[in-house]
Amino acid sequence: MSEEIKEISTDVQSDDNNEQSKDIIRKVSISDEEEEEENEQPLSTPNGRETPSVASYSDVIIQKQDEEYSMTEQNSTFDNTQQLLEIISDKSNKEATTTLLNTLVDGDFDLDKNDIIQKPENLSKIFSIFNKMSSSLQAEILSVLIGIMRKSERNLLACIDANIYDKLFEILNDIDNIVADLLVDLLTVLTSLTINVNQLKLLLRYLKTDNNIWKKHAIKLLHIFKSFPQRHGPDEFFNFPGRNDSGLVLPPIKTWPYQNGFTISTWFRIDPVVNSVIEKEKPYLYWFCTSKGHGYTAHFVGNCLVISYTKPKEKNFQHCIQFEFKSREWYMITISHQYQRWAKSSIQCHINGQHVSTAYFPWSIESTDIFDKCYIGCTPDHNDLTSFSGQLSTFYLFSIYLEPLIVQGIYKLGPAYRNQFKFENESAHMLTDAQRKSMYDGKLMNSIIFNYNPISCEEQLVLQAGPKTNISYFVHNAHAQMLSNVRSVVAHSIYSTLHSMGGVQVFFPLFSQLDHQQNDGTINYDVCSILLFTLCELIERSYTIQHQMLTSKGFLMIGYYLEKVKKENERHIKCKLKI
C-alpha cells in the first residue's frame, strides 16, 4: 500500500560516522524511558501488576466468591463472569467450550450454520476468566476463535469491538507455550485488520527487555511483525452483514445520464452468509431504478455477478460477467455503459482494471421518471435474501463512459482512494504520463455524479463527497443514508500508525536487544532476521517508509546496533541471516 510522502527535514551531518550514530542513538535509545513513561499509563490489571499473577488450575477451577471477587458496587461487572464460571465448572472441555461459544451467538453455536458473533461483549467476559481455565480448554477456545475470525470479516470486527487486545497481553505471562502460540496467532489475525497507536505502544512495551532479559513469550510476539506489511484492502469501508435493513439508501435522481454513457465503479469483498442457499439468495450490489422497476441492477448468483437492464414494455436484458469472485478477497469492479445513437450500445466490464467481458444491447433506458428507488447493497424491500454480505469501499457513479486507460489508472490508485481526481500530485508516483493526463484534465472530476465513502459519514448519514461545483442530478440533496445494520469502519494500517508515532524508527531500539537472553538463559538468534524481514517488506511497499529510513539515518543506526552485538553471538546471527 503506497503512502503519500510527507516532507521531513533533518540536518545531521558529520565526517565521523561513529559520532553520527551516537548522536542519533541518544535521541531514540530504548533506555530513554523517563520521557516515555510520563505520557503512558501502566497496564491496568486486576492484581495491579503488569501481568496477572500465576494461577493453578485443573480443567476449570472456581475460586470462592469471597476470596477471588468482592461483590462490591465497584466490581458489579463480575456477577456475570462468576456465573459463567459456575456454569462450566463441572463440564468437560468440549461441553465447556460449547457453552462459552453459545454465549457469543444467537442460538446454538455451529461452525457450519451459526458462527457469526452477535454478542461481542460476552467475548470480553470469556477472557476475564481465561486464566481460571485449563490450558487444554484455553487452546480449544482460541483455536475456534482464530478459525471463525479468519473465516469472516464480521467476526473479526466483533472481536475488535470487544476490546480484547489489552486482555490478551494481560494473560500472556500466565499461559504455556502451546496456548501462547495460539494467542500470538489470534493477535496476528486482529492486527491484520487494524492496529492503532495505543496497541502498537502496548506491543512495543511488552517487547522491551527487563535487565537484558526478554519477557515470557515476548519473542513469539515478534512473529506478528511479519504480517504487518502484508495487509490488503482499504483502511475504511462499509460493512454489510447481509441481514434485513442492510444497505445504503440514495436520494431520488431526477435524470439518469445516458447520452455520454455512464460508469459505476467500486471496490468490494464478498463475506458470505453462513449456511446460505444459492437458489434462494440473490444479493444485490446495487439497484438503481424508478418506482416502476425500470433501471439498472447488479446481483450475485453464487460467486458470479449478473448485470440487468429493465425497460418499459421491453424484455429484460441480463449479462453474466465471465469472472468468478472469490470470498474474502478485494476486487475493483468497473461497469462502463457506452451509448450509441445509431448502433448497438455496449457494456464494458472491468475487474481489477482488466477488461473481462463485453455485452451489446439494442436500446437505452430513456425514462422521464425519477429514479427514486436507488440502493447500494440491497433492494427496496431491504430483505435479507437480497442484501449484500461483505464490505464496500468508495462507490463512484460517473456521467461518462470511462476508457480502459482511465479504468486501469483508477485501479492503480488502490482501494483506499476516495478523492475527486482533482490534484495530480496525489498519484504522481503511481500512474503513467498518459493515465495522469487523461485522469487529471478535469473531465473525470467534473463527471462525478456521486462519491460515497466511509469517511464522509455523520452517524447514519453518508455525505456526497463529489465536487460541489458539478451538475446536480438529484431532486434534493445528494446525501445517502445507511440503514440500521450497516456501519462504516475506520481501521488503522501499520503505515498510518507508524506515521502517527513518528515513523519507522520506533522499531530501531529492538535491534539493541539482539543478544539479550530469554527466561531460560538461551538466546534466540531469529530476532534479527525477523526485524530485518519486516523492515524490508515495509520499505518495499511504502514510499513514506523509504523516506523515513533515509531522513532518520536508519541504515546507519541499524549498523551501529549490529556492531554492538557480542562477538560470540555475531556468528550465530549471521548464520540465521544467510538462511
Instruction: Write out pLDDT tens, residues 474-491.
Output: 998 899 999 988 999 999
pLDDT of residue 195 exceeding 80, the answer is yes
Contact of 535 with 577, CB cutoff 8 Å: no
Number of H helices, E strands in the chain: 21, 16
Residue 33, pLDDT score:
42
Residue 126 has pLDDT above 80, yes or no: yes
Angle between helix 153-161 and helix 177-193 axes, rounded to 10 deg: 100
- In this predicted structure, the answer to whether residue 407 has a pLDDT above a threshold of 90 is yes
- The per-residue pLDDT for range 302-359, each reduced to its tens digit, is 889 999 988 767 778 889 998 989 988 999 999 999 887 666 788 999 999 999 999 8
Question: Does residue 366 carry a pLDDT above 90?
Answer: no
pLDDT at residue 361 greater than cutoff 50: yes
Report the pLDDT value the prediction gives residue 294, as an integer from 0 to 100. Answer: 86
Q: Hey, what's the cell of 412?
A: 492503480
pLDDT for 189: 92
pTM for this predicted structure: 0.78
CA atoms of 232 and 391, how far apart (whole Å)? 13
pLDDT(244) > 60: yes
> What pLDDT is stored for residue 71 in this prediction?
32
Question: Average pLDDT for residues 366-375, to the nearest whole number?
Answer: 84
Query: Would you say residue 7 has pLDDT above 80?
Result: no
User: Which of the two residues, 426 and 365, has the higher pLDDT score?
Assistant: 426
Q: What angle do helix axes 78-88 and 120-128 make, rounded to 10 degrees?
A: 70
Q: How confident is the model at residue 198 (pLDDT cuts 50, 70, 90)?
A: very high
pLDDT-wise least confident of 247-256, 297-306, 326-335, 518-527: 518-527
3-state DSSP assignment of residue 130: helix
Mean pLDDT of the residues in the chain: 81
To which residue does cell 461441553 refer? 95
Residue 577: band (very low, low, confident or very high) from pLDDT cuts 50, 70, 90: low
Q: What is the structure's pLDDT at 316?
A: 81
**Tell me: the pLDDT tens digits for 40-89?**
333 333 333 333 333 333 333 333 333 333 333 333 333 567 777 777 77
